[in-house]
Amino acid sequence: MPHVAQGQFTGAITAFKNTHIQLAIRPCIDIITELVGNDEFKSRAGTDDSTKAHFIQLIQKADQARRLITYNAEGVDIKTVVDVDSSLTESLKPLATDTVQLGSTPDVEIPWRFDGTDPNIPLWSELHFRNGIGGVLYQSICSIVVAWTRLESRNRSHMITVNDSLRMWSHLQSFYDLCDRLLGVENQVDLAQPLATDEPSNVVPPNRLNESVISPGSSVQNTQRNPTASGQ
């Protein structure tokens, strides 16, 4: 029986006919694991340009997969998040599936677990993004995964329709825009002071009354890492 998605993946349909959609989800999973493993998102100041370029490249690969699985016999403009001035290479054109009638396929469960049991795909409640940008990107890419599983094209044996492709282009383009406008040196902010909750226990943060009680590591960003502060 298919597993039930939880947390930010709630609503994802985890078993369907169209295995081509799994091809489109795979690069999104790569983005999820790259976000979780990137320690630049622990810095409240922001990221550098290499991180920006890295995630833009990854979302462009995700868009390439979308184009590959779009059934587009009439050659409709299905957009792209790659450079609009670049030529459309063979690798960006849809797969050819019109030679013969393809056979039907059964429902297949997706090969990833969206219920919190896969440590490589953690639920939001298990994460610790000090950099709010990392959290925004994580929620965005997870919503893209959910959207892929809910397309009506999931009930086809192969490929996706042009309309479903354009729906997903809108999601992917939004992620691209977030990367372009939030990541990189030009979007860094200058933060000189640590959070009061990051101070050692024997240091009184400035501008506080002496009787103020501050538990080290008790901020929202640190709660998941500090069972005592969260009351557990």
Q: What pLDDT score was predicted for residue 186?
A: 95
Q: What is the DSSP letter of 70?
A: B
Assign 155 to helix, strand or coil. Answer: helix
Report the chain's mean pLDDT, rounded to a whole number. Answer: 84
**Whether the Cβ atoms of residue 172 and residue 37 lie closer than 8 Å to each other:** no
Length of the chain in terms of residues written: 232
Instruction: Return d(Cα 42, Cα 151) in angstroms, integer.
Output: 34
Q: Which residues on adjacent β-strands are paired with residue 187?
A: none
Instruction: Return d(Cα 171, Cα 102) in angstroms, integer.
Output: 29
**Among the listed residues 109, 176, 104, the one whose alpha carbon sits nearest the alpha carbon of residue 141:** 176
Residue 96 clears pLDDT 60, i.e. is over it: no
Record the pTM.
0.82
Q: How far is CA 174 from the centre of its chain?
A: 11
Taken in order 37, 121, 28, 179, the sign of the CA dihedral is negative
Q: What is the DSSP letter of 212?
A: -
- Domain chopping of the chain, boundaries: 7-187, 193-232
| Structure tokens that stand for 157 in this block | 């044996």
pLDDT digits (tens, 9 = 90+) for 61-94: 999 999 999 998 888 888 876 554 444 444 455 5
Q: Between 49-68 and 20-37, two packed helices, what is the crossing angle to 10 degrees?
A: 170
pLDDT digits (tens, 9 = 90+) for 14-61: 999 999 999 999 999 999 999 999 999 999 999 999 999 999 999 999
Residue 101 clears pLDDT 70, i.e. is over it: no
